[in-house]
Amino acid sequence: MSLVEVLVAMTILLVMCVSVMGVVVRSVRSTFEGRDFTKGTTNGRTATGQYFGAAFNSDRLRIEAGTESTATAQWVTYAPGAPDPGQWIATGGEPGARWARVSRVRQFGLAGLLDAEPGKVSLDDPLEATTPVGYVHLKEVTVETQGLRASMMLGTPKRLVLHSIRAY
Higher-confidence residue of 110 and 140: namely: 140
- Are the C-beta atoms of residues 109 and 135 closer than 8 Å to each other? yes
Among residues 20, 25, 19, which one has the least CA distance to residue 155?
25
Among residues 125, 152, 2, 28, which one has the least CA distance to residue 67?
125
* 109 has pLDDT over 60: yes
The whole-angstrom separation of Cα 150 and Cα 32 is 13
pLDDT in tens, 132-168: 888 888 888 999 988 877 665 666 777 888 888 888 7
Phi, psi of 135 (to 5 degrees): -95, -5
pLDDT in tens, 24-80: 888 888 887 787 788 878 888 888 888 888 888 888 888 888 888 888 888 776 645
